[in-house]
Amino acid sequence: MSAHPIVSSRNTKVAAHFAARRPLPSTVTAPPISPRAESSASVLAKNLVVARVVAGMTQQDLAQRAGVSRATIAQIETGCGDPRLSTVTDLAKALEISPVLLLLGSLEVQALSAIHEGAIPSPVEIGPEKLERMRDFVQSGMLKDRLRAAKLGAAVVRGISGAPSSAVVTAAVCSPIIPGEGTRLGATLGQLMSQYAQNS
């Protein structure tokens, strides 16, 4: 049984086309791919999920404490909501964290981390195995793994005697952004915010 003449003729033409292709000259280079900035809705969604889960709250718990509907929480956490600033502030207050924390993206954490490095000694010690696990979780790109990285960072800070809950949550939010250094930055930032809140 022979192949259909149109199919075999087409396959021959396709094979000839690819065989005749020549490599691009070395002077032709692809334009650099610039990293795409995360949208503010995406940053808020990721940070809110992490903060809520690490604080041990359900969407319903957070909604009741913040005075918003559970549907509002769900919309924000999926990146579909466009909340008012007052809503973000109410959510942060219910979580006992600064509203700024919910809006920290990778660029902000990297900048703060550069300032933090060496400026303030951090009591956070992260073992190489935990740091590697955090990095692996973040590399997967999956939300459940981002939460796992956040929980690892939170657990490290929870183990520090006298660490306020705000330091634990702040470290959890920053850990999946920059595993290790983000954890240390988050712990320090949460500790400082807690101290300033008590003094004011």
Give pLDDT tens digits for 69-126: 999 999 999 999 899 999 999 999 999 999 999 999 888 888 888 776 767 777 788 9
Instruction: Report the share of the chain in percent with pLDDT over 90.
Output: 52
pLDDT at 107: 82
The number of helices, as runs of H, and strands, as runs of E, in the chain is 11, 0
The CA distances from residue 58 to 55, 65, 159, 168, 174, in Å, are 9, 11, 23, 17, 21
Query: Does CATH number 1.10.260.40 belong to domain 40-199?
Result: yes
pLDDT at 9: 46
Q: Which helix (H) or strand (E) holds 138?
A: helix 128-140
pLDDT at 171: 92
For residue 155, with 0-12 CB atoms within 10 Å meaning exposed, 13-18 middle and 19 or more buried, which class applies? Answer: middle
Q: How confident is the model at residue 1 (pLDDT cuts 50, 70, 90)?
A: very low
pTM over 0.85: no
Give pLDDT tens digits for 129-184: 999 999 999 999 898 999 999 999 999 999 888 888 888 999 999 999 999 989 98
Q: How far is the C-alpha of 167 from the C-alpha of 163, rounded, in Å?
A: 6
Domain residue ranges of the chain, discontinuous segments joined by +: 40-199
Over the chain, what is the mean pLDDT?
82
Picking from 60, 133, 159, the residue whose alpha carbon sits closest to that of residue 52 is 60
Rounded to 5 degrees, what are φ and ψ at 178? -135, 95
pLDDT at 115: 74
Q: Is the pLDDT of residue 33 over 70?
A: no
Distance of CA 16 to the CA centre of its chain: 48
